[in-house]
Chain A
Amino acid sequence: MMHWMTASEMSQGYAAGTLSPVTVIEALLSRIDALEPQYRAFIQLDREAALQAARQAEREIKAGRSLGPMHGVPVGIKDIIDMKGQRTSCHSKVMLDHVAADDASVITALRASGAILFGKLALHEFAIGGPSFDLPFPPARNPWNLAHHPGGSSSGSGTALAAGFLPLALGTDTGGSVRHPAAACGLAGLKPTYDLVSRRGVYPLSISLDHVGPMARSVQDVALLLDAMVKTSSAPQACRPETYSKDLNSGVKGLRIGFIRHFHEKDEHADPEVTRALNDACDVFRKLGAEVKDVTLPTLQEFSAAQKIILMSEGWAIHARHLRNRPQDYAEMSRRKLLCGAFLSAGDYVHAMQLRGSLSDAVNQAFGEVDLLLAANSFDPACRIDDKQEVVRTYTRQARVPFNLTGHPALAMMSGLSSTGLPLSLQLIGKNYDEVTLLRAGAAFEKATPWHTMHPELA
């Protein structure tokens, strides 16, 4: 079935001449036409533009002018990322008239790779709200169970991938917004090292916490997309390998993995199925030859307090004008979150930034003894989308925010299936700029487990 093909498989098919971009796009459009009314992954989708891009890619590849492995591969774009001449709605009434004057830097990089930019995807309003019903566009649904949320804020990215609408998507991550939909929808999602991927042209939420990250159904595809995304990076060249795929087959034998058990067993208490899946993952890594031992970091509450104050302060700086003049144009969930910053002081912000430095030191110190960290992702499977109280309660039960605060790269991966048939997820965290080792361990885990091959049964 073409809709479950990975981007890497598509790329190989194009190179071998056994598959064409036009065939792929037509198949995906047909699937989207049938399912999108229930799934609500897209805010905008220009079918004709996608087909035109596919025809052009097909001509160029056939003529021997392939731009590389991303040529002709479709990528969905979270609708908070500017594409020249198109509206960037941020899933908000506030931005309905905003047409981007230029491409975001990461879009420039994707265009240069020959990727087919395939629609603008739904999100939580301004990447902070929640699954809201008081916005100009409906919330995306979880393909594993349409009554449940798909995580967020890159909700449409998660939905589109898990529904087989696309093999690749861009998300953004300020407090876990790539890794949360990856958890809820059973996907691989990477929050790269803080300044590895350019944020220019991405509507900001919190300037020092925002990241742009790749999402896919396999670690190999995450690496493929990351390769293309970093082409416009301002991070030092020495920090970027020729390809992030280079060690995907190297296994984890000899790697030292620190398990941050206290985040989900002591600081908070994760759902028992989440905990069991994490313990099983430790066993998998041990069987593959890694050394796994418990490590202790500052408490999750310390990371969380500093991250929230920074996010709210920086978010308020961006949204204050609109919140003063047109508060009615925000959804209730976003408004309540963004208004918090009005009640914090400059001193609170500086205090949080000071704490941020010491928390980063603590994580770097842990990396003196291990190569990778392993932690929980969401502490619960996705709840019902219409259960507002449960959404509010469970959205903060997670171990993602520490690594927005410190900037370390973090990879979310499916780690099991709950008794209710919803995905469970874990996180691997790497040293700064060491995405290669992170993806290497992720690929080894994928090869040893069945989770990434599972797809929801769709109507």
Chain B
Amino acid sequence: MMNELANNPLFQSALAPFVVALVTGYLLRPLGSKWVGLGFALGYGASVYFTAGFQLFPLTSTRKIELLAVAAVLVGVLLDHYKYARRPVPWVLAMLAIAAAVWVIFPVLKRAEGLDFWLMLFSPVYAAWMVVGFDLLRNKPVAASTAAVSVGVGTSISAVLGASALLGQLGGAIGAAAGAMLVLLLFVKRVDLSSSFTLPVALLAALIGIAAVIYAGLPWYNLLPLALISVATHLPVNTDWNRFIQAIVLAGYSAIPAAIAIAVTWKIAQSVEPSLY
């Protein structure tokens, strides 16, 4: 019974990350409102444990992504809790995201020639865009969490339809764990989400999307709508509305690019069934 549950993809990439993120996020509140964001990382980690395990070697692209997620959490915590000059931060994050993306795609990049090589350089640009885009939401927790849910769901369904179920499950875990953060934000007092949440969300979503393109054949232009999700949450929202209404409106804004990404993949895949079955 427990084995069946642990092997169920919905449990692995939806229920487990949601519940773990919700519970740990809630328990972290006494440490300070900004520590709640770590619940996302713990929820996502639960999904990794069930889907791929914590094995490190051989160091595949998927395992590199998990390692980079841990690094992103650490950098996010530093940004949340230490004073620093704000101006260079987006540039530094962009550079780190570019380096991370190059590391993940390096096994293929080093063999690529001609046009393929130049097309692959789209990947680091996408990673930098995503990380900086979500960094701009670090002081807008409702917008950040709705965007995180949309980017997770969009990446997940795109990957499942067009590329890889494993990457799809990992993308789904982003959406589920971010959904738990949104629930805490809406229903519990003294909850804040900042860089320790936005940085790992953005880097994970970017790198999973890139891996789906480079390693699993997802069309690169599928990432273009996903890149617009963080931008969409900057659309005007009446701040006089309560948080629930704001969240619904922002979710609507961010769901549109995610839906476009899914529709594009659906059109290409021409089937909702995974090829295996």
Partners in one complex: no
